[in-house]
Amino acid sequence: MTSGKAVRIAMVAGETSGDLLASHLILALKQKLPNAVFFGLGGPKMIEQGFQTRHSMEKLAVRGLIEVLKHFREIYALRKDLKSWFLSDPPDIFIGIDSPDFNLGLEKILKHKGIPCIHYVSPTIWAWRKRRIYKIAASVSHVLALFPFEPEFYEKHKVPVTYVGHPLADMLPVEDKRNHARELFDLPEERPVFAILPGSRQSELEYMATTFIDTAREILDTLPHALFLVPLATRETRLLFELAIYKSAATDLPFQLLYGHAHEAMMAADVVLVTSGTATLEAALLKRPMVIAYKISRSSAWLMRRLCYLPYFGLPNILAGKFIVPEFFQEDANPKNLAQAMLNFYSDKTACEKIYGSFHEIHRQLKQNTAEKAANVVIRYLPSLQEHDLGAT
């Protein structure tokens, strides 16, 4: 598809996973709309694709209900600035990438002004916020759903929706690449290797870093030759983890800190310890046994427990519809519990083989050529281009 018109596409992504989703979508759209301009708020992967960001994505990377309230003024000012910017020079379309508490309010305003609004990643209506569907219906033109169980709920409420799968399922190898990853890190086959992923946001490190360091110490009591690969997304998160190592008097522990390389670290590992979030899906698609941990403030945890309808919060368990990997929340996410669960996986090859089969099925379901499907939906909301260009696709 070609067009002489410079299509202006506004986007807002508030965290690392959204940055990845958006970057793949931008690449797919650029192939169809080579003159398109992408702008708004995004991260480094989007910027690599030519995206023009007005603010740092880190400003939206706040987790937990109470934590969001603490940053309310800053977040409100950010949304007000973006709203003024988009309304003063309206884009042809707006795409909110996840971050529903921020994006839905912005989308509602823009949709009311006649700007088509696509929300990429279904907000969590299926867990504990079912009434959110009414706000979504008022705010968006179309929802792009990542998971196969999501469209039914939208269809029931007559909200336009398309299941597009997850781009990670397109990116990551279907077969287990553990041996190849071990070669990359020059790791002997017999050495116990664990990947530790304490989170991509600074707020996650503040809750999880010390717990994960102490978990490594517990594992070393049983497996003294174990090695711990720790991929960290940014310079800031690496500094936070290094500080936690120093404060925990753990400078002698066998941590290998990495800038990025999360996929390679997980592939090389026997077992992965991961903070709840997109990294749990990455570990599942890489077919690695994992233990999921999640900590937030006490007040946020109290609210989450009162509101949550699902018996689990980890994406692999949600997608499987049952517990297939252990997950620990709040006070249960302590070093003894986490270390024991990881050691159980390390010593039980039969359990690991069962999990491999479950993760292979999840991969098959999510592999949908996501970016292409999502781009085709976006194109449908650009009628002036359709008239001239759809015949060229």
Domain ranges of the chain: 8-165+368-392, 171-366
33-82 confidence digits (pLDDT tens): 999 999 999 999 999 999 999 877 665 555 555 455 555 677 778 888 99
pLDDT at 390: 41
Grade residue 393 by pLDDT with cuts at 50, 70 and 90: very low
pLDDT at 388: 40
pLDDT at 389: 45
Across 97-114, average pLDDT:
92
Grade residue 254 by pLDDT with cuts at 50, 70 and 90: very high
Q: Which CATH class is domain 8-165+368-392?
A: alpha beta
343-360 confidence digits (pLDDT tens): 999 999 899 999 999 999
Please, are residues 107 and 131 in contact by the beta-carbon 8 Å criterion? Answer: no
- Domain 8-165+368-392 and domain 171-366, same fold? Reply is yes
pLDDT at 16: 81
| pLDDT at 130 exceeding the cut of 60 | yes
* CATH number, domain 171-366: 3.40.50.2000
